[in-house]
Chain A
Amino acid sequence: MAPKTALSRREFVQTAGGLLIGFSLADASILPRVFAAALGDTVQTPSPARLDAWMRIEKDGAIRVFTGKVEIGMGVETGFAQIVAEELNVAPGRVSFVMGDTSLTTDQGGVGGSTSIMMGAKPLRNVAATAHALLLQLASQKLGAPVEDLQVRDGIVSVRSDRSKRVSYGELAGDGDLNDALQVSGRGFGLNVEGTGKPKDPADYTVVGKPLPRVDMAPKILGKWQYVTDVRVPGMLHGRVVRPESAGAKFVSVDEESVKAIPGYVKTVVNGNFVGVVAETEWAAMRSAQMLKVTWSAAEPTFPPQGTIYDYMRTATPKASRDSKLNKGDADGAIASAAKKVEATYDWPFQSHATMGPGCAVADVHTDGVTTIWSGGQKPHALQQGFAELLHVSPDKVRVIWVEDAGSYGRPGFEDAAADAVLLSQAVGKPVRVQWSRADMTAWGAKGPAVVCDLAAGLDANGEVTAMRFTSHAFSGSEINPLPSTAGNFLGGQLTGVPNTSGFDEFAQWGSECAAYTFPNVHADGHVVPGFLASSSPMRTTHLRDPEGPATTFAAESFIDELAAAAGADPIDFRMKYLDDDRMKTALTKAAEQYGWKKRPSPQKTTAEVSVGRGVAVGLRGGTRVATIAEVEVNRSTGIVRVKRLVCAHDCGLIVNPGALRGTVAANLIQSLGRSLKEEVTFDQSHVTSVDWNSYQVARASDVPERVEVILIDHPEIAPSGAGEPSSRPTAAAINNAIFDATGARVRQGPLTRARVQQAIAALHSA
């Protein structure tokens, strides 16, 4: 095969770069995002130590930024544009981005952990500030005026005293590449660079903090956007995978005759327990996957019966255990001698990412190992490492080009779909597009871990909390490392026999996965439950939006509510007493004001058939404070819960784009409402039985509260923290506490289904 044309980054920019234009923020004009498709050979990931690795200014004044960060549906690209435009004094519409291409962008660790604005925007801001300083120096020479006498308006530099003396960024940068050496520190999410330019004082911001429309929104709604599912390359075939019939089943044989008659069928690929089909059309690939007769080893009991899963978690020998760093005093002793002791256990199920697009990627593996992969996974540079290991080639032969996929919420399996495409393309020697089925995602995608928490507390005669005891048992949030940089990280890799070696123990911890309260004695410990299968488990666990946060916060914030009730205190007053964080207290106060919270203890005194209650919960994540109040209506006979209202006060420091932030928080509230009320992965002893949208229910239109109110607390003086995940934390506990307020019944297992609510109400009567 002839070697593909090598295109350097510079040539790329010169030849194809003109097509890579984003969208003008000003007029939201509609240009399709053009992929760097079939650009040719791979090149090394650029070093972050040079300014031109990050930014290029075109003759027409366009600012092109290259970032290892990617857009996963929350509008971060628009926020980045505002941050860069702010430092450069240009209209944000001039700034466009190339994101997540391992040959064109630096390795910023991809995205995750709600860190894109908090950490990922820093080098972009510093680069823009440095470019601004360099441009002013160039302008100073050109215009013959000192830098102090210059002003910039939308990329035009002029002399204050004589505005006829002017020059544009495009003219200045056109004199030669704008470049400078940068000081590099950190790596991954923490990669930062600093140059000669000093970023603006946030007090002087004029673009950051404005609710600009998202650059992607109008083109998406008008049907002018392209997702990874739309990538087509010349000669491309279509692939589908056929997963083992049961968890842990081994491949025995395949009868290719079962599909040979399907028009367009090309090949069945078997590699260990990895089975896939390749065809000329998507429809032929789908039919082939459905009709292919594969014999697997018999199903064996691999998982405990679902009804016993939480007992299993509490009694299984932990894989790892850890005491909290927040432990202090003698919690057990204080609880033993307390006037009142409160104990409760809380359970949270496995949940599925169940992404809207089930998983799709295109891979083009050449016989010499040179490979291009188009994927929507959150961490393109890690994928490059992982695919190189899967193919046994050096990483510089592998180019991963990120193209937006459906919202990912962590490590859903877009990575695994891309590995499947790599394996199939390698086997047929042609580019292959893999489209997962719904079941490939919902049943076989990685899962958010189940978590159980056992809590106890002591109260003295005055209702003061003297001690807190917290123990969690959770499947690891990183049994599958969210950084997909090894071959064994991928389901396809595991099916071909590569062990998963990169996973690690990630705990559900008091004080980090929930807000910590200042009790005099605290003892908290966490334990990781071993996974069921070492390899290829459909129940393997990994990051799902705020990995252990919703589960742990559900337990902790429901339990705090139990303590408030035991003390006969108003739930907000009670929390205020034990919180020592002023910003959290402010969030709580603002939420209460917005809601119109009347102080009284829960539960309210009513026996009405349909009762309304209110509940509160707080969440603290990576510096972001969230306080959520839910109002619910509960039917005591049927157990049906209807959330009528959600109020969420959100403080993530400096707000870059309040419009986009409001949208993200509101959506987080609804997604987490679905997780609170409905979402639970079901399984029998050999299979995940949640396979589609009927067997894995998420929030639907009828679940949406009549009122959803988001209060944004802006702190321009405080560096921004994350917003992608924090507001998904307190929702379940807020709703649960509202159910308690309405009925006096306490549910201690998620999701808060009708059956569980009914059961809790029935237990009230029998007690």
Chain B
Amino acid sequence: MARTTLKVNGKAHEVDADPECPLLYVLRDDLAMNNPRFGCGLGQCGACTVLLDGNAVRSCRLPIRSIGSKEVITLEGLSTDQSIDPVQQAFIEEQAFQCGYCLNGWVMTAKALLEKNPHPTEAEMRRSFESLVCRCGSHVGIFNAVRRAAESTKRSA
């Protein structure tokens, strides 16, 4: 065990954990940030996705020793009480999911995608989602939400 400082959602958190422990378990079990979810622990489904310096990464395979000063953003860190993140807003408006267990991966991946590429083509969107799993099959709503989010930035631009 070792003391490590992690910057999560704009705040520094000191944790006492095995440096080899993947970020997912530290976020969930030490910091009670539950939205990064355990789906496989193998990097195959994306339910554990977080933003690391703006990139969507799988926290289930990411030892905390490798994070250093990089900034972690989780789903709970996207919106504030005052303002709802437009990507989340689009997913809400589309009522995009069924059980929602996987939604963390889709919303965080969509967020990273749209930050870098505000108006992705259909193929670009699907490509960035190909490594995610939604077992319920909510893809139609998810794709519509991404289109809606992209459209909303077009309008405001």
A36–B79 CA distance with the chains assembled, in angstroms: 27
CB distance from B103 to the nearest CB of A (A): 6
Kindly identify which residue among A73, A224, A666, A672 contacts B99, using a CB–CB cutoff of 8 Å.
Answer: A73
What B residues does A669 contact at CB under 8 A? 137
Interface string of B96-131 (1 = CB under 8 A from A): 111111111001000000000000000001110111
Kindly identify which residue among B44, B131, B139 contacts A670, using a CB–CB cutoff of 8 Å.
Answer: B139
Interface string of A680-696 (1 = CB under 8 A from B): 00000000000011100
CB distance from B72 to the nearest CB of A (A): 14
Interface string of A270-302 (1 = CB under 8 A from B): 000000000001111010000000000000000
CB of B66 closer than 8 Å to a CB of A: no
14 contacts between A and B (CB under 8 A): A73-B136, A225-B100, A227-B37, A404-B99, A406-B99, A407-B135, A663-B95, A663-B97, A667-B137, A672-B137, A693-B40, A699-B137, A700-B132, A704-B140
What A residues does B126 contact at CB under 8 A? 701-702, 704
A282–B30 CA distance with the chains assembled, in angstroms: 10
Kindly identify which residue among B78, B98, B132 contacts A664, using a CB–CB cutoff of 8 Å.
Answer: B98
Kindly identify which residue among A224, A230, A666 contacts B141, using a CB–CB cutoff of 8 Å.
Answer: A666
CB distance from A115 to the nearest CB of B (A): 18
A263-B18, A668-B137 known; A214 and B130 CB under 8 Å?
no
A731–B45 CA distance with the chains assembled, in angstroms: 24
CB of A131 closer than 8 Å to a CB of B: no
Interface string of B67-98 (1 = CB under 8 A from A): 00000001110110000100010011001111
CB of B6 closer than 8 Å to a CB of A: no
CB distance from B32 to the nearest CB of A (A): 8
Q: Is the pair A701, B129 in contact by a Cβ cutoff of 8 Å? A: yes
Interface string of A417-443 (1 = CB under 8 A from B): 000000000000000000101100000
Q: Is the pair B133, A693 in contact by a Cβ cutoff of 8 Å? A: yes
Q: Is the pair B141, A663 in contact by a Cβ cutoff of 8 Å? A: yes
CB distance from A203 to the nearest CB of B (A): 27
A708–B139 CA distance with the chains assembled, in angstroms: 10
Q: Is the pair B76, A223 in contact by a Cβ cutoff of 8 Å? A: yes
A214–B95 CA distance with the chains assembled, in angstroms: 7
Specify which of A360, A694, A698, A700 lies most central, judged by the most chain B CB atoms within 10 Å of its CB. A700
Q: Which residue of B lies closest to A225 (CB)?
A: B100
What B residues does A286 contact at CB under 8 A? 25, 41
CB of A72 closer than 8 Å to a CB of B: yes
What B residues does A629 contact at CB under 8 A? none
**How many positions in chain B have a CB within 8 Å of any CB in the partner chain?**
57
**How many positions in chain A have a CB within 8 Å of any CB in the partner chain?**
64
A698–B134 CA distance with the chains assembled, in angstroms: 9
A669–B98 CA distance with the chains assembled, in angstroms: 13
A406–B105 CA distance with the chains assembled, in angstroms: 14
A28–B76 CA distance with the chains assembled, in angstroms: 17
Specify which of B39, B88, B138, B140 lies most central, judged by the most chain A CB atoms within 10 Å of its CB. B140
CB of A216 closer than 8 Å to a CB of B: yes
CB of A110 closer than 8 Å to a CB of B: no
Q: Is the pair B18, A73 in contact by a Cβ cutoff of 8 Å? A: no
Q: Is the pair A704, B139 in contact by a Cβ cutoff of 8 Å? A: yes
CB of A40 closer than 8 Å to a CB of B: no
Kindly identify which residue among B96, B99, B143 contacts A72, using a CB–CB cutoff of 8 Å.
Answer: B99
Q: Is the pair A283, B25 in contact by a Cβ cutoff of 8 Å? A: yes
Q: Is the pair A281, B44 in contact by a Cβ cutoff of 8 Å? A: no
CB of A767 closer than 8 Å to a CB of B: no
CB distance from A111 to the nearest CB of B (A): 13
CB distance from B5 to the nearest CB of A (A): 18
CB distance from A718 to the nearest CB of B (A): 25
Q: Which residue of B lies closest to A281 (CB)?
A: B29
CB of A673 closer than 8 Å to a CB of B: yes
Interface string of A222-240 (1 = CB under 8 A from B): 1111110110100000100
CB of B4 closer than 8 Å to a CB of A: no
A28–B95 CA distance with the chains assembled, in angstroms: 12
Q: Is the pair B97, A217 in contact by a Cβ cutoff of 8 Å? A: yes
What A residues does B78 contact at CB under 8 A? 223
A73-B100, A221-B107, A663-B98 known; A356 and B138 CB under 8 Å?
no
What B residues does A230 contact at CB under 8 A? 28, 34
Interface string of A143-185 (1 = CB under 8 A from B): 0000000000000000000000000000000000000000000
Q: Is the pair B41, A701 in contact by a Cβ cutoff of 8 Å? A: no
CB of A120 closer than 8 Å to a CB of B: no
Interface string of B12-25 (1 = CB under 8 A from A): 00000110011001
A281–B16 CA distance with the chains assembled, in angstroms: 12
What B residues does A694 contact at CB under 8 A? 44
A412–B140 CA distance with the chains assembled, in angstroms: 24
Q: Which residue of B lies closest to A674 (CB)?
A: B137
CB distance from B150 to the nearest CB of A (A): 16
A694–B79 CA distance with the chains assembled, in angstroms: 33
Q: Which residue of A lies closest to B133 (CB)?
A: A693
Q: Is the pair B41, A670 in contact by a Cβ cutoff of 8 Å? A: no
Given A283-B29, A286-B41, A405-B101: 5 more A-B contacts, CB < 8 Å: A284-B18, A666-B137, A669-B137, A700-B132, A702-B126
A486–B25 CA distance with the chains assembled, in angstroms: 34
Q: Is the pair B101, A667 in contact by a Cβ cutoff of 8 Å? A: no
Q: Which residue of B lies closest to A695 (CB)?
A: B44
Kindly identify which residue among A224, A360, A670 contacts B138, using a CB–CB cutoff of 8 Å.
Answer: A670
Q: Which residue of B lies closest to A728 (CB)?
A: B137
What B residues does A702 contact at CB under 8 A? 126, 130
Q: Which residue of B lies closest to A284 (CB)?
A: B18
A663–B126 CA distance with the chains assembled, in angstroms: 20
What A residues does B127 contact at CB under 8 A? 701
CB of A659 closer than 8 Å to a CB of B: yes
Kindly identify which residue among B42, B103, B132 contacts A701, using a CB–CB cutoff of 8 Å.
Answer: B132
What A residues does B17 contact at CB under 8 A? 281, 283
